[in-house]
Structure 1
Amino acid sequence: SDSFTGLINIMTDIIWRFTGDFMAPDFVCRVIRYLQVVLLYASTYVLVSLSIDRYHAIVYPMKILQGEKQAKVLIFVAWSLSFLFSIPTLIIFGKRKLDNGEVQCWALWPDDSYWIPYMTIVAFLVYFIPLIIISVIYFIVIRTIWIKSKTHDKIISNCSEKKICSRYNRGLISRAKIKAIKYSIVIIFAFVICWSPYFLFDILDNFSLLPKTKERFYASVIIQNLPVLNSAINPLIFCLFNNSLCHPCRERKNIRGTFQEKTERYEMHIRPKPEFI
């Protein structure tokens, strides 16, 4: 979803800005707008799906219906809802000539007041409801990890070999707890930072509360691209908090290290000792 957001949303906007007017037919206009909205929905709903998957993995670790099957169901539901909620875009948008003479892919309703209910519904479906779900899920996840870590600490305190248990288990649980807390905070923070200015600006603009100045135009260009920026940030966050991506590098280092150690040991055995005169 994040990759297609970059390819479809950003690439089409770049081409559109170079051409000025929308040169393609009306059908292409509707399809592009539809796909752009689908990808914005999908990027958010896939993030919610990942949160639900993480919730089941931590809160119900012994549940049978997990793994690849559950992931496929969550992804299917996320994309299905994205395609479903984006259907009104096919009707709302189309190729039209504006008052200033430009031909653009724009909303076809007769009055701009229709933007207010439309953007309100989109704000709830794309931002407010997903944000509430993600926040509640990660709150439960963090709370569960915190409680489980305390339980493990009690078990470790009763362990016969305290030194071994504490060095291994306490360190592992502590790292997992800290990583989950940091990861959750970063995900929610990035989501809020990228989407809040977008909906806040659109709501104020629809109610005509912003002055029509050059600064408003430049701010609009930047703010309108912030939701797409969230799709660019998400893969970076997952890479930063995913140690499995570094395993191949570590394995290569370990293989080189063990090979070097074996070579040095072999050379120590077969290399003739220096004769001292």
Structure 2
Amino acid sequence: MSVAVGIPYVCFFIILSVVGIIGNVIVIYAIAGDRNMRKSVMNILLLNLAVADLANLIFTIPEWIPPVFFGSTDWLFPSFLCPVCRYLECVFLFASISTQMIVCIERYIAIVLPMQARQLCSRRNVLITVLVDWIFVACFASPYAVWHSVKTTTCSNTVGKSTWWQGYKLTEFLAFYFVPCFIITVVYTKVAKCLWCKDPTLQCETRSCLDNKSSSRSSDALRTRRNVVKMLIACVAVYFVCYSPIQVIFLSKAVLNVTIHPPYDFILLMNALAMTCSASNPLLYTLFSQKFRRRLRDVLYCPSDVENETKTYYSINNTSIVGPRASFN
């Protein structure tokens, strides 16, 4: 890679890593550091997503440092870190994808099935679901730890051409790309239809059947839910945009038996896209959530004032929300 091409890549990867790590650390601190925010089921899931994205960014650093800085695919770290980094990188990537699917289902229950939401989406059930999810992805990604090692100075897969590995990669494609894509598309379509087309609050407001105070409160609740759904749809859209090119290359090889040899610059670009997915979620929270912007401002500028601030409690969709330390939903 020439210097003219290499320098922009160096800057791009460094910016993505710094922005993504700082952004996810702030999200983790904003939620984990506030007891009231941790009461929200939605915030627990967003905290889990931020942890997965942060860890994914950290464990991809050994992958891009050699090619970006030295123009080499040689593994420059201790040999035992090769399977460890590949394994953990996949674990946190799978956890991020599955968490977004869990968030999607939680939003569906909370908005479309509000009568069942209190029972089904309790903190206990969500914590159990998150724990089971981490156990599942840790087990599913185990082949990356078993079948990766340093071979002729390169961290590579030792069974990459075997039928077994191709079957595993096809299962991975279905479990963490196709099925999530299908479920999220169907579920968010129903949620959007409920919020924008058939929401009883909208019908009631057009008939002037609510008093001014109730109407204003219902409008705020509806607007908040819509913003959350917009934010989550944006997060999912970014994921599928970032990972679709990689999946197309895999499908062309595994299903159509068409081998593609992309240029080295393209491979680096695909890695940058993958990092963009993990780095962009905190920016999307800030873009779509006014409450998160308020909490972010409190974390960055006035922590002492926040502690002394009077807390005003109110409820949206049976979820307790506290003044400036409000839930993201």
CA distance in 1 between partners of 2:155 and 2:98 (Å)? 26
CA distance in 2 between partners of 1:29 and 1:170 (Å)? 53
CA-to-aligned-CA distance 1:187-216 (integer Å, 9 cap, x gap) = 332122111111112333563443x4xx62
Q: Which has the higher contact order (CA 8 A, sep 6+)?
A: 2
1:121-132 paired onto structure 2 within 5 Å: 121-132=171-182
CA distance in 1 between partners of 2:187 and 2:132 (Å)? 18
CA-to-aligned-CA distance 1:215-249 (integer Å, 9 cap, x gap) = 62211221133223211122222222222223355
One of 72, 80, 96 as aligned partner of 1:27? 80
CA distance in 2 between partners of 1:95 and 1:16 (Å)? 14
Structure 2 runs not aligned, ≥5 long: 1-51, 306-329
CA distance in 2 between partners of 1:224 and 1:201 (Å)? 13
Q: Which has the larger radius of gyration?
A: 1
Q: Is 1:46 the counterpart of 2:106 in the alignment?
A: no
Q: Is 1:66 the counterpart of 2:121 in the alignment?
A: yes
CA distance in 2 between partners of 1:42 and 1:110 (Å)? 23
Over 3 Å counting, the alpha-carbon distance change for 1:172 and 1:239 in structure 2 is same
Letter in 2 for 1:247: R
Q: Which residue pairs with 2:146 in the alignment? A: 91
RMSD, aligned α-carbons: 3.1
1:128-207 paired onto structure 2 within 5 Å: 128-146=178-196, 149-154=199-204, 157=207, 159=209, 161=211, 164=212, 168=216, 171-172=219-220, 175-176=223-224, 178-180=226-228, 182-204=230-252, 207=257
One of 108, 111, 120 as aligned partner of 2:170? 120
The share of aligned pairs that are identical, in percent, is 24
Letter in 1 for 2:81: V
Q: Does structure 2 retain, via aligned residues, the 8 Å contact 1:198–1:227?
A: no
For normalisation by structure 2, the TM-score amounts to 0.62
Letter in 2 for 1:132: F
The count of residues paired between Structure 1 and Structure 2 equals 241
CA distance in 1 between partners of 2:202 and 2:263 (Å)? 55
For normalisation by structure 1, the TM-score amounts to 0.73
Structure 1 runs not aligned, ≥5 long: 98-102, 256-277
Q: Which residue pairs with 2:22 in the alignment? A: none
Letter in 2 for 1:8: F
Letter in 2 for 1:94: S
Q: Which residue pairs with 1:259 in the alignment? A: none
Over 3 Å counting, the alpha-carbon distance change for 1:235 and 1:67 in structure 2 is farther
